[in-house]
């Protein structure tokens, strides 16, 4: 492992562009996304539906739907290795072994006709080449690790015997089978109810602490962000508009979109107030705007915002893409 310095990010994404190709033309769904993910860190990727979060995650693994979409530019590096130049066979050495992923709906993430054991075995055979007794023990250990009661019986069960929370933990166990260094969690708790969600987040945290896992945590739930993430990247219309430490972001959001997003989080203590919502719709990916894509919905928008897109401005570990912060970052 070429670990040069401790500050080398596990994952380094630079100006990633994934375009959709359809009859309506070319859609700039991921339009220049950059972020770093370090070991032991959880980076939140936040944004509304359709802003390109999931496609970004899939693009990192080069599993974006083809031929409907294609990565057309940018860089994805894992410990410095450029993943975009790897062959399909080389990529398979990264998937599951270095970078793993869990998806939103645990009810659909497991193969309904294979037992939990078979699905764990498959990952273990694929990644660790285990067999026989060792295989079974490793599978039991994984189930134990994700706190499935009676792991030995769990191996023989089918997915439909398990509840949603248990299934998501099994999905987690399968994702951890290859001892990955990075876990991409694409809204892993959205389909779970609140108490189960809490359990699952706690489990993820404890696994992260044991393994020093870097987690890319996609969500649109700020309560989960506050609970899980060290840093947050806010995504809008295919771009990351602001990146900051979680505390900083909550205390002093800079980008008008982040501010609006935080204002629209319902507050239980003020229940008679009307919920805040951002007027208008995000622009279509098929008709990108020449300027800042948030300009039509932004109260601070000027002529300049509408004509040219703001570059990210870096300062004090945070980054914001907005003309408002050009002089005083």
Pairwise CA distance, residues 117 & 327, whole Å: 58
Pairwise CA distance, residues 17 & 43, whole Å: 20
Burial 239-272 (b: 16+ CB within 10 A, else e): bbbbbbebeebbeebbbbbbbbbeeeeeeeeeee
The minimum distance between CB 109 and other proteins, in angstroms, equals 4
Residue closer to other proteins by CB (options 112, 316) is 112
Pairwise CA distance, residues 185 & 148, whole Å: 20
Residue closer to other proteins by CB (options 123, 292) is 123
The minimum distance between CB 191 and other proteins, in angstroms, equals 11
Residues that bind other proteins (CB under 8 A): 61, 63, 67, 91-97, 100-103, 105, 108-114, 122-123, 126-127, 156-158, 160-161, 171, 174-175, 177-178
Residue closer to other proteins by CB (options 91, 262) is 91
Query: Within its chain, how far is the Cα of 138 from the centroid?
Result: 27
Residue closer to other proteins by CB (options 140, 176) is 176
The minimum distance between CB 92 and other proteins, in angstroms, equals 4
- CA-only gyration radius of the chain, Å: 21
The minimum distance between CB 22 and other proteins, in angstroms, equals 15
Residue closer to other proteins by CB (options 52, 282) is 52
In 3-state terms the chain splits into helix, strand, coil percentages (rounded to 5) of 35, 25, 40
The minimum distance between CB 248 and other proteins, in angstroms, equals 32
């Amino acid at each position: 492992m070429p670990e040069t310095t401790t500050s080398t990010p596990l994952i380094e994404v630079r100006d990633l562009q994934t375009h959709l190709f359809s009859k309506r033309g070319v859609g700039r769904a991921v339009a220049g996304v950059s972020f770093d993910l370090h070991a032991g860190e959880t980076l939140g990727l936040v944004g509304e539906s359709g802003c390109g979060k999931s496609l970004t995650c899939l693009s990192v693994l080069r599993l974006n739907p083809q031929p409907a979409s294609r990565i057309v530019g940018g860089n994805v590096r894992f410990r410095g290795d450029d993943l975009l130049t790897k062959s399909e066979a080389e990529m398979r050495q990264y998937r599951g072994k270095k970078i793993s992923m869990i998806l939103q709906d645990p009810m659909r993430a497991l193969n309904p006709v294979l037992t939990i054991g078979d699905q764990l075995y498959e990952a273990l055979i694929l990644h660790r080449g285990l067999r026989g007794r060792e295989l079974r023990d490793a599978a039991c250990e994984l189930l134990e690790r994700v706190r499935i009661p009676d792991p030995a019986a769990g191996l023989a069960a089918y997915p439909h015997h398990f509840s949603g929370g248990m299934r998501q933990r099994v999905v987690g166990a399968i994702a951890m089978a290859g001892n990955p260094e990075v876990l991409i969690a694409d809204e892993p708790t959205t389909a779970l109810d609140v108490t189960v969600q809490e359990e699952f987040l706690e489990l993820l945290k404890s696994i992260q602490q044991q393994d020093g896992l870097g987690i890319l945590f996609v969500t649109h739930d700020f309560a989960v962000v506050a609970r899980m993430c060290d840093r947050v990247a806010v995504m809008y219309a295919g771009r990351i508009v602001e990146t900051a430490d979680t505390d900083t972001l909550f205390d002093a959001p800079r980008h008008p979109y982040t501010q609006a997003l935080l204002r629209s989080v319902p507050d239980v203590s003020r229940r008679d107030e009307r919920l805040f919502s951002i007027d208008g719709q995000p622009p279509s990916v098929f008709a990108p705007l020449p300027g800042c894509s948030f300009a039509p919905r932004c109260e601070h928008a000027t002529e300049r915002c509408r004509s040219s897109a703001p570059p990210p401005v870096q300062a004090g570990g945070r980054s914001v893409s907005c003309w408002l912060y050009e002089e005083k970052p």
